[in-house]
Structure formats: structure tokens, C-alpha cells
Chain A
Amino acid sequence: MVPAVRRPSDLTPADDLSVPYSGDPMPQTLLGLLLVTPALAIVILLFIVPLASSITGAFEVDGGHGLGNFAKAFELYANDMAFTVVIVLSSTALIGLCSIAISGYLTLGSNPRAVAILRWLYRWPLFVPFIVVGQVLRTFLAKNGLMNSLIVETGLLTASQTTSFLDWRGIVIAFTWKQTPFVTLLLAGAMASLDRSMIESARNLGASRLRILFEIILPQVLPTLMVGLILGIVTMMSVLSVPMMVNAQTPTMITASMAFRINAYGDYGVANALGVVSLVMTSAVAWLYLRQTMRDHR
């Protein structure tokens, strides 16, 4: 018989202390709820309530309900929506390629020094805020910026032939530069946790490193790559600073349009409608991902 209440002196070496103490179930349940309450309150107050109010706000037109805000949003900002989709998708494709290349080299690279240097270098952009990325690229990609100066210096182009990259290309470069390390971090971790002998058995049969990467490693870490890219998409959909700083023209990204709508017109209705549109976009990606994982688990 185990006594209902045990003192520390009752413990024997056989007692597994990792099993939660379950002498009195009532206080423990209460304590658990108490511990969860602050987090739950914050989620409800700061996340669910504002989200719900901005979603319902999107459907409020002149005191009543309707789709007026959406009609206006599509009429004024359809180009921006398409622009956003194109920017985010092309950035995602580039991020995917770069992170596969970097994590592939980290996993399969034969020069230990080069691998160590790359491992040390690739994470830096993670610690640079988006706004700083925007600032840096602004000076780097401008018509008279550092990049064009270097190109002119090498004699590839003359000063009159150079163009400014401060448009959609600048945003794509900024997103790729900033988000690649994050996806690489996840992907390289997944690759490193694969059984090393799977790579060796392919080498043993004569597979080149490129084939090993694409035929042996990548298929096994694809779910991780997808998670990384989807998180990247959600982040890119919510960045305001980069389009504001790098692309000071139209069309621009939905985030910039929303800010403009609020700052210039105080028009929360259309801004909310634009917010719902971007929420639908990210939800679509999340749904694709969920469908994929469900299929994998079946």
C-alpha cells in the first residue's frame, strides 16, 4: 500500500521522482489552471479579440454590414495583391534554393574549413532587423549605390547603363537575404539528424554529391523545408519596413497599402479588408502544408 500522503523521508531509491506527485489531485488541477490563466488571458486579450474585431471590422460599412470594403480594396489594390503574391512566391523559391544549397554544402561539404566558415557566416542575417536590411539595401542597390559603383569600377557597365534595383527586385533580395538563414537553420538541422550511413551507402554505390542531395537527403527533409518556407511566407507577408524603404512606388505590398490606408485616410475598413485578404493568403499556404502532413501520416 502506498500511503496517501508521503513525506520526503518516505522516499526510497526505487521511487521515480520524474513521475509527477499525485497524492492530492484537486489542488494540482487548480494549480495547473492557475498557471495557464495568464498565458490564456494574454492570448485572448491581445490576439483573439483584436483579430476578431479586425475581421468583423472588414465587413462593417457605414454602420451596417457588407462587402463594400472588399470591393474598394480590390478596386484600388488588386495590383498590390498580385505584386505581393509574386514577390512572396519568388522570394520563397529563392530562399528554398539558397537554403538547400547552403545546408547541402554544410552536410556534404568535403572541405572542413570551408564548411566551418560557411556555418559561422550564414546565420548573421538572422540577427539583423528587417528595417536595417531595408536601410542597407537602400544604399547598396540604388542607382548610384555601392553595387552599381562596383560594377562600373570593374568596367562591366558604364554609369549611364546602370539601373536602380530599388523596386520589386530589391524586396526579393531583402527577403531572400533575411529569410534564407532561418530556413537553412531548420534544414541543416534536419539533414544533420539523418543517419550518416544513408549518405555513405549512396556514395558507396557511386552517387555524386548532387544526386545524394536531391535523391537521398532532400526527399527526407522535405517536410522541414516546407515548414521553414511557410513560416517564411507568413513573416514576409507581415513585413512593412522593407517595402516601405526599398520600394517607394506603386505597386507595393499589401502591408504598405494597409499602412497607407490608415495613416493617410484613417480608413480602417479597407485596411481590415486588406488584412483579411493577406490572412486568406497565408491560410491557403498553411492549408496546403496541413494537407501534405496529413497525407504523410496516413
Chain B
Amino acid sequence: MGGYLEIVAARVRYGDVEVLKRIDLSVAKGEFVALLGSSGCGKTTLLRAIAGFNPLAAGEIRVGGRDVSRLPPDKRGMALVFQSYALWPHMTVDQNIGYGLKLRRMPATAATARVTEVKKLLGLEEFGQRKPGELSGGQRQRVALGRALAINPDILLLDEPLSNLDARIRLTVRHEISALQRRLGITAVHVTHDREEAMVMADRIVILNEGEIAQVGTPTEVYNQPNSAFVAAFMGAENLVDIDVRVAGEAIEVAEGPQNRRAVLRRSGRRLESGRAIARFRSDAIRLSTASATSAEDGDDGLLLRGTVEQVGYPGGIWRHVVRLGDRSVMVDAEDRFDNGAEVHLRIPGDRLYVFSEAQQ
């Protein structure tokens, strides 16, 4: 695969701890890739390794076919936007943005023109003479982005650049950044722990877990076809039931259990073995009905669970129920409200059910 930025068998150690365990990743030119994972999964370590701040214990990082693993950060054609923005408080916005140009000995007139261009691109025209301390969080974030873009990097690296913004601004800045990235056609690697942020911004998502890549795919792929229980849970399928399955050709038979009825699911390319399995599903993928009202149309590519409503809340738009299924409880969103103690049936369509053999976990 002819990627522009290629990470080949990369390992990073902090002392005796292997933080990144053999990462292989290829990013195409102009692509926006998000590294997604919970804290401590190694996503920032990977970004810093790409940037040149964390040395590789093994492996290679290539840009356009050239090995840059041993090059210092500034020789890699990359610019990093830091989580804390890392603006220099004693310099004005103009000086912050123009510092990289000054280091490259760009003539003053050309540098001024470039700084003006970058400020215009980011809507910072009127702030040139201000110091970072006099700017809002969103403006600072744009200055940090401008400082990185001013030197025309081939690759833009973003380390949780939105995590210090308040929720409302974050939503607009998300779109600003991805629109800018598309307009400039720049290759971008973005680190985030925010699933939705990764989904709306990135062309492809890399989910990391304990220093390893759990799954790589487009937002729809990782959302709808998680390849492991971890990815399914991380992508929001938090509900969990234990089932017994028997794989028979293109069908998966789910045995009658204490909480579920017998069902037959289409296999649809699932890698699964007969035996104990777990099924994961999202709270909004469920049709909830009272136990008495359920008709006989069950069993056909869908799973039917029996439970008791334990708690009801209204977060807005839908009713959120906590339903007890034996010794587990699950969250179920429904248009209608079901009272505490109601006996209910939960129907999950086969394509919204993520089934994994217990041994795979």
C-alpha cells in the first residue's frame, strides 16, 4: 500500500514499559486520520513518535518513501499543534505565527505576507498585535494552528487540539479544522479521546488499545462493523448479554437462554465459533415493548431479550430505561415511557448486534 506517511512495525518504550507494541499504519496524502483511544492507550505517544519527540525502539517512520525515523522534529516536514497550544506568552500573535518563518530565514516582507495570509485564513486579522494572554481559548487554538500552518508543513499533527475548548465552541472548531484541512489538502493525523469528534472529522479512524491498533477503518466501518468486543464497546455498544451460539454455515443459531429467546441470525461475514459468546448493542438499537404485546414474529434475524424496567429517566428527546436482564442491566432508549417494574421485551435487529466468541476477548 503506497501511503504517504507510513509507520512500519514501530515500537516505543518508556524504560521497561513497551508503550507502543508494533504499530503498522499507512496514511494517504491528503487524508485525515484520527487516532482514537482512551487515556493511556498510546495515541499521544504514537503522535509524538511521528513528530520526532519520542524515539522509536524499533521500526520506521517514512514520509513519501523516505525514512525519517532518525531525523530531528523540524526535518520531518511536519508541524505539531499541542494540546495546551504551547503559545509563547511574551510574543504577539504575529510573532508566534511568524516564528517558524524567522527560523527559516525567510525575508521579512515575504514572512509578513505569509503571516497575513495565515491570519486571514484563520480569521485572526485583527489580533496580530495581541499577546496570547489577551485571547480567548478558541482564538488561541487558531493561533496555534496558524503557527503550525505558516511553515507549509506536509503533515499536520494535532494533539487533542479541542480538548481545552468549551463544548459549544468545540463543535464549530471541529468543522473549521476539517474544512481547512480539506481546502489545503494537507495530510493530517489527529489524536482524540472523543469518539464523535473522530467520527465527524476524520476520513479514517485508528482505534488504539493498550499500545496496539485495535481496528482501522472509515467512521462507518468502525461504527457498524467493530472487529472486537473492545471496539464495539468503545464505539458505544456498551450493552452486553451472554449467549450460546452454534455456527451453521451462513446462519448463527442462538440457543434459548435465561434472558433470551431462541433466534437465528445471518452470519454476514462475522468471525465466530460455536459456544459461549457475548452480544453487544447500543441503547438506541433496541425496540422496546411490553412482554404481553410481543407477537410471534420473533426469531428472524434479531434477538429478543426479556427483562424488567428498573429505572427511567428523560435526558431529552427519548426516554432512557435501565432494564435488568438477570444479573446484568442494560440501557434502552425508547420513544415511549415504560414504568418501573414493567416486564418488557427488547428486540435487537441482527445487523445492530455485535457478537463475539468469549474466547476472542
Quote the shortest CB–CB distance from A201 to chain B (angstroms): 4
Which residues of chain B from 85 to 144 have a CB within 8 Å of any chain A CB?
A: 86-90, 99-100, 103-104
Q: Which listed segment binds A: B76-84, B220-228, B281-289, B331-339?
A: B76-84
Residue of A whose beta carbon sits closest to that of B157: A204
Q: Does A65 contact B (CB under 8 A)?
A: no
B80:A204 contact, CB within 8 angstroms: yes
Contacts of A202 in B (CB 8 A): 88, 99
Q: Mark B53-84, 1 if CB is under 8 A from A, else 0.
A: 10000000000000000001111001110111
Q: Does A205 contact B (CB under 8 A)?
A: yes
Contacts of A216 in B (CB 8 A): 88
Contacts of B89 in A (CB 8 A): 220
Residue of B whose beta carbon sits closest to that of A197: B86
State how many residues of chain B have any CB contact under 8 Å with chain A.
23
Quote the shortest CB–CB distance from A286 to chain B (angstroms): 24
Contacts of B100 in A (CB 8 A): 205-206
Quote the shortest CB–CB distance from A215 to chain B (angstroms): 8
Consensus secondary structure, chain A interface: helix
State how many residues of chain A have any CB contact under 8 Å with chain B.
16
Q: Mark B29-51, 1 if CB is under 8 A from A, else 0.
A: 00000000000000000000001
A203:B74 contact, CB within 8 angstroms: yes
B82:A197 contact, CB within 8 angstroms: yes
Taking A201-B86, A202-B88, A206-B104 as known contacts, 19 extra A-B pairs with beta carbons closer than 8 A to each other, sorted by chain A number, are: A197-B83, A200-B53, A200-B80, A200-B82, A200-B86, A201-B80, A201-B82, A203-B53, A203-B73, A203-B74, A204-B51, A205-B99, A206-B73, A206-B100, A206-B103, A207-B103, A219-B90, A220-B88, A220-B89
Interface residues of B (CB under 8 A from A): 51, 53, 72-75, 78-80, 82-84, 86-90, 99-100, 103-104, 147, 151
Q: Would you list 13 pairs from A and B whose C-beta atoms are within 8 A, ordered by A residue?
A: A195-B86, A197-B82, A200-B86, A201-B86, A203-B53, A203-B72, A204-B73, A204-B79, A205-B74, A205-B103, A205-B147, A206-B74, A206-B100
Interface residues of A (CB under 8 A from B): 195, 197-198, 200-207, 211, 215-216, 219-220
